[in-house]
Structure 1
Amino acid sequence: MIEQRGTRALLERAAHARDATELFGTASARLRRMLPFDAAAWSATDPETGLITAPMLVENLGGGEHCFSYWETALLEEDVVPYRELARAAVPAAGIRASTGDLPARSAQFRKLLARQGVGDELRAVLRAGDRPWGVVSLFREKGRAPFGPADVALVAGLSAPLAGRLRDLARPVPRPAPDAAPGPGLVLFDPSGAPISINDEARRYIDLMPAGPSARYPSGLRLPIWLAGTAAQARAVAAERDRGGARVRIRTRDGRWLICHASALDGPGGAPGGTAMVIQPAAGSDMAPIIAEAYGLSPPRTGDHPDDRARAPHRRHRRRPGHLAAHRPRPHQGDLRQGPRLQPRRTRRPPLHREPLAPHRPLKPQGEARFLHRPLPGTI
């Protein structure tokens, strides 16, 4: 009963959140009262690719300097309940210790990063509405505390759909004044190890428009938001055949506009792995159509970026063939939607004609001289 009241209060506060950052902060504070944890990380995700995007909230994890290592390992090495599998699982939440039989070192993230920071267990969850991931959350407990149990997993899994639905509602576009002439595409180049080595001025301008959040610092002195660094890591994961799909993510700026970032791995000399190129630019209408359709409860066409879409793509047999009339194409009697339907005359059913059977054909025999059936005209004979 107490848990139900706490869940109801959490969802009521979430329903009044003005943006995703406020939603994460409210949900984390309320959830801590029902499910004790020592640290947490909340992030929005692109609903088509599942990659992390802005905003991101990190609690009690220092300055977030280890966030990039966490997400890079998640994309390139993690095999224990990775987020891409949780997004398709029947239960979109799992604990590391429970999933490994109390052997958390089987997780690359735990072995290389979390154990060194004194973490004893982690509970991961995907905030999923339908089959689309709109956010992810990680809860951490220090060593010496009880690991997350089945009741904890069930509680967080039960919050997945309602919180994802709220994130989806907050993705609806807000009317904004038309922007000035946008700069050209931003470009960031990475070396084969994933470190950025070059960036143009347009990319810097776009990065300045992004919300505040954890960033990755590189030896070159460049700092990139964690969602850009994660997109570049995804391109490397695809090139290494650890994942499918594209390395693409949409990012909402501080003033409510949208940017799109996509990265791809390059080939080096002799076919060796090369660097990675990333392009940042304003999102076009076609880029935003799937998110807007989802936010308003419509069903956009699949694009192939979602893991479930990629699994179904090779088995699609009902592709349109040349000369095939689509089922949704207006029929001739429907007319133009702008002109209204055409009225067709009502057809009445006529009774069938009664016909006598024909007699067999008999040739005529001449009898005497021919006679006219009608009186001939004068002067014709």
Structure 2
Amino acid sequence: MPSPSAIRRRRTEVLSSAERAEHAGELFAVTSARLQRVVAFDAAVWSATDPETGLVTAPMRVENLGGGEHCAAYWESEILGESALPFRDLARAAVPAASVRSGRRPWQGENEELRAVLRTAGRPWGVVSLFRGKGRAPFGAEELEFVAGLSMPLAARLRAFARRAEVRQAPDAPGPGLVLFDPSGTATSINEEARHYLAQLPDGPYVSTALGVRLPIWIVTAALQARTSAHAHGLVSEGQAALVRIRTVDGRWLVCHASSLSGPGRSAGPIALVIEPAATSDMAVIVAEAYELSPRELEITQLIALGMTTEEIAGRLFISPHTVRDHIKSTFGKAQVSSRGELVARLFAENYWPRRTI
């Protein structure tokens, strides 16, 4: 490791580059390049995650690790619980970074791994895995500390990007897309609507199929999660669903729902994955988190959108008008607006928040 002064300088360089990044893909690229100067690694995976479900989503950056099939094997190992420390457990750990060693790696030779969850306010916005080749020294405590210290600021930057989504649906958007997988996780059929949506997804690691389409790792992972959840819960009639939200190349939001179906005698059946434009209810968590609104601030903003006055809101929520005004002032600051009309336009017209009904 460099000297303490050099480490402080490198941290400043990493975070300054992150602040200048214009999108998540660029953030991963510049951070990885800067990080390499402090924490030596041979290969890496950077991925955004759905802040509610923790599943990986676009974008994903893969460095020196081969094709999509290798990535699929890695994430399958993660979802099946074969990792010594799954990301879902690391997301709740006191320190969001850890070093793990495993002989079962999808890429021959890489068996020293430093993994971290990029989290802020209790939500995971990204994950990163750094790998060292066989025979190299494990990642040290100082290296873990350096990466862990990047978790919150990088997550905050990823969260800020969520404010920039284009939320208006395309006028020619088709109906729901459907991809079916057999119980082993192999894609077996697809409709034209799904082909339409898949063509709108950003570049990233893909898995080739016999259907003439390449499925992004984020789609494959959602299907794997649905299958794994169903097996863990014994194939109940309603199945166990997995959900992940994905940004298209033009900034719109799609949502994927995957559920494991049951066959005769409640045996393992196919996995159905539906992909379609995100509805208002699908985006509530992401938009609320993106603007860092508290549950009360969200509730008051929804009532403002209904045209309620400060006094009416106070009566509805059994709080004082002064408290309502304080929440409104705080919300104005977070949304960077100066009037109720601007607030409603930004958080309802420009984003997907569900309007509340009286």
TM-score w.r.t. the length of structure 1 is 0.74
Instruction: List per-residue Cα deviations over 1:276-325 (Å, max 9, x = no partner).
Output: 00000000122112111111111359xxxxxxxxxxxxxxxxxxxxxxxx
Aligned mates of 1:175, 1:234 — CA distance in 2: 28
Matched residue count: 298
Instruction: List per-residue Cα deviations over 1:248-286 (Å, max 9, x = no partner).
Output: 000000001000001000001111111100000000122
Of 38, 46, 49, the residue aligned with 1:45 is 49
1:113 aligns with 2:106: yes
Q: What SS does the corresponding residue of 1:240 show, helix, strand or coil?
A: helix
The code of the aligned residue for 1:238 comes to: S
In structure 1, the partner of 2:336 is none
Instruction: List per-residue Cα deviations over 1:192-226 (Å, max 9, x = no partner).
Output: 11101000000001000000100112455542000
Aligned mates of 1:246, 1:96 — CA distance in 2: 29
The code of the aligned residue for 1:214 comes to: P
Question: Alpha carbons of 1:256 and 1:220: their partners in 2 closer, same or farther (altered >3 Å)?
Answer: closer
1:69 aligns with 2:73: yes
Of 158, 180, 185, the residue aligned with 1:189 is 180
Q: What SS does the corresponding residue of 1:65 show, helix, strand or coil?
A: helix
The code of the aligned residue for 1:72 comes to: E
In structure 1, the partner of 2:96 is 92
Q: What stretches of structure 1 of length at least 5 have no aligned partner?
A: 98-103, 106-110, 302-325, 338-381
Identity across matched positions, percent? 58
In structure 2, the partner of 1:304 is none
- On the 8 A contact 1:209/1:253 being kept in 2, the answer is yes
Aligned mates of 1:113, 1:246 — CA distance in 2: 26
Aligned mates of 2:99, 2:78 — CA distance in 1: 15
Instruction: List per-residue Cα deviations over 1:4-25 (Å, max 9, x = no partner).
Output: 1100111011001110000000
Question: Alpha carbons of 1:15 and 1:332: their partners in 2 closer, same or farther (altered >3 Å)?
Answer: closer
In structure 2, the partner of 1:253 is 248
**Which has more helix, going by share of residues?**
2
1:329 aligns with 2:350: no
- On the 8 A contact 1:196/1:222 being kept in 2, the answer is no
Aligned mates of 2:233, 2:88 — CA distance in 1: 11
In structure 1, the partner of 2:259 is 264
1:231 aligns with 2:222: yes
Larger displacement relative to structure 2 (81-90 or 244-253): 244-253
Of 272, 292, 297, the residue aligned with 1:277 is 272
Of 132, 140, 149, the residue aligned with 1:149 is 140
Aligned mates of 1:294, 1:253 — CA distance in 2: 20
- On the 8 A contact 2:189/2:211 being kept in 1, the answer is no
Aligned mates of 1:333, 1:164 — CA distance in 2: 35
The code of the aligned residue for 2:229 comes to: V
- On the 8 A contact 2:255/2:278 being kept in 1, the answer is yes
Greater Rg, structure 1 or structure 2?
1
- On the 8 A contact 1:173/1:292 being kept in 2, the answer is no
RMSD: 2.4
